[in-house]
Amino acid sequence: MSNMQFCRGFNPFVILFCLAVVAPIISADVAILRTDYYQKTCPDFHKIVREAVTTKQVQQPTTAAGTLRLFFHDCFLEGCDASVLIATNSFNKAERDDDLNDSLPGDAFDIVTRIKTALELSCPGVVSCADILAQATRDLVTMVGGPYFDVKLGRKDGFESKAHKVRGNVPMANQTVPDIHGIFKKNGFSLREMVALSGAHTIGFSHCKEFSDRLYGSRADKEINPRFAAALKDLCKNHTVDDTIAAFNDVMTPGKFDNMYFKNLKRGLGLLASDHILIKDNSTKPFVDLYATNETAFFEDFARAMEKLGTVGVKGDKDGEVRRRCDHFNNLNV
């Protein structure tokens, strides 16, 4: 008889046995997250993160958008476990070196490294890289005008980072709404939450290669605002020889986290094809319309979705570690 079958009785001694034996079996590998996780073990955690992100954002204003994007890419593959931070070595090609992650910005990796270095001096071996990325993301979003949301802490850093697993787990610019929602849905997100999280494109930029097929040739998208299309064509005319050329995702208020992204979609100012389809598809258009007219609704939904995102696939003590360096596993042969 299994432990679970044994626990179906109502004998009080049986119930006590179930609480003592079966419950740990169920929850042993699940991280218990809480906002005050480092209150005793690293009391300066929040202060160190806040000071580091403030300095970095002032130096490089695209840091907020880059870190937010890095957080998405981390959580959507193997959960929020800092696997995207791992560097490739002779044994393993890591997530960050897959083609779909080529454009992840260096400033986002840099801010995590800066914070980790400071924390290792203050409380060595205590704070995970996964928690650093989660906390830095929230602090940076609020710095540029976005909504506050709670960040529960206690994640451990994962033991795996495989480039070949990226495709199919990260949304692509040329996918349909059903395809994109399929990726969100397997991580537990509704269609409304998907649209709210897409609002992250109210800050940041995308490289020309991600939207150039909308601009040139017989397949050019006629629904792009003509003046916007002309400006993008001029900007991206040399993108095949310089793949660093990029455009702001939100051409109107690129450095401010607001609901302008959704207003832009209604004006034909969506940069990526995956942005534009949100206003074209009947299943997502009502949410675009709502967020374009009601910034409070967008902020509330975005904040709730970000709290939820931060809990996706988190690792506990048995399935993770606290890395000494965020770009290397503690066991370098992994």
- Residues placed in the known binding site: 74, 79, 81, 83, 95, 171, 201-202, 250, 253, 258
| 46, 73, 164, 181: the active-site residue | 73
Q: Which residues are annotated as a binding site for substrate?
A: 171
Compute how many other C-beta atoms are within 10 angstroms of the C-beta atom of residue 190: 15
Helices assigned H by DSSP within the chain: 3-6, 12-17, 23-27, 45-59, 63-75, 106-122, 129-143, 177-185, 191-198, 226-235, 260-266, 273-280, 285-293, 295-309
Q: Which residues are annotated as a binding site for Ca(2+)?
A: 74, 79, 81, 83, 95, 202, 250, 253, 258
Q: Which residues are annotated as a binding site for heme b?
A: 201
Q: Which of 259, 250, 253, 245 is nearest to 300 (CA)?
A: 259
Q: Which of 320, 306, 304 is nearest to 134 (CA)?
A: 306
**Annotated catalytic residue 73:** yes
For residue 207, the surrounding DSSP H or E stretch is strand 205-207
Rounded-to-integer distance, Cα 95 and Cα 85, Å: 8
SS3 157: strand
Q: Which long-range contacts (CB under 8 A, 24 or more apart) does 95-102 make?
A: 95/161, 95/162, 95/163, 95/165, 95/166, 96/161, 96/163, 97/163, 98/163, 98/164, 98/166, 98/167, 100/166, 100/167, 100/170, 100/172, 101/73, 101/163, 101/166, 101/170
Q: Which residues are catalytic?
A: 73
